[in-house]
Amino acid sequence: MPAVPSRKRVPSYGFLSSIKGNLEALTIGLKYFLNPNRSTLHYPREYIKLRPGYRGYIVLNKAKCIMCESCARICPASAMKMVRFQAPDPKRPGKMKLYKYPVINYQRCIFCGLCVDVCPTEALRHVPAHDVVYMNLAEMELDLEAFQQEPKSPAEEEGGIPVRYIFDSEKGLVKVRASEGGGGQ
């Protein structure tokens, strides 16, 4: 038996109900016009205050790193690589030792956070910042020094106002200053 496509009827409205619908639409529009709830983020003057657990940029603490390579192995985007170099061994004077440390390529990084999760000594951590600017693609491949420095949000450095978006039971999504509560944490 061939399938019979069901026909949907286009709803037709009567004269009075369409007048009512128009009036309702105008009332809602007027309500928002008189009492607007603007949620635009004026970005350089305001920025979203990110929570501490935010999976933003990644920073290496070189002193904690045990060179286990777990981060480079688990990285699904091959963004994390180990750099190798010979340096004098502090425990055995006069001898050289092979050091390996992770570096990151933000052209490839997808901010999945697996490297931070897998790190056995918490040498890698997230920073609550995501609006870092690089002048060219080559800058996005960090070297060991740059990977240890905490990136700063330019809006935060230029004295922007930290804000947060919270849900209000009446108005919906509302923008408030992060200092004024901001919905916990």
Partner 1 sequence: MSGAITWLGEWLFWPPFFQLVIAPGLVAALVIVIFILWFERKAAARVQMRVGPYNVSPRLGGALQLIADLVRYSFQEFIMPFTVDRAAFVAAPLLLLLASMLPMAVIPVSPVLPYSYAWPNIMKYNLLLALALATLSPIFTVVAGWASNNKFSLIGAARESFMVTAYELIFVLALLSTAAPVHSYDLVKIVEAQSTWKLMALLNPPAFLAAFIATLLSTSGFPFEIPESEHEVVAGPFTEYSGLMYGVEMGAAYIKRYAMSVLMALAFFSGWKPLDPQPGAGVWSGYVAPLVVVLVKATIIMAVMSFLRAVYGRYRLDQALHLAWKILLPLALLGYAIGLVYGYLGVL
Chain residues that interact with partner 1, rule: CB under 8 A? 15, 25-26, 28-30, 32-33, 36-40, 42
Query: Dihedral angle at the C-alpha atoms of 141, 47, 43, 133, nearest 10 degrees?
Result: -10
Min dist. Cβ of residue 121 to partner 1 (A):
46
Residue with Cβ nearer partner 1 (6 or 40): 40
Min dist. Cβ of residue 31 to partner 1 (A):
9
Residue with Cβ nearer partner 1 (28 or 98): 28
Min dist. Cβ of residue 183 to partner 1 (A):
19
With a CB cutoff of 8 Å and minimum separation 6, the contacts of 38 are 175
Min dist. Cβ of residue 48 to partner 1 (A):
16
Min dist. Cβ of residue 50 to partner 1 (A):
22
Residue with Cβ nearer partner 1 (15 or 167): 15
Residue with Cβ nearer partner 1 (44 or 120): 44
Residue with Cβ nearer partner 1 (25 or 77): 25
Cβ–Cβ under 8 Å, residues 83 and 101: yes
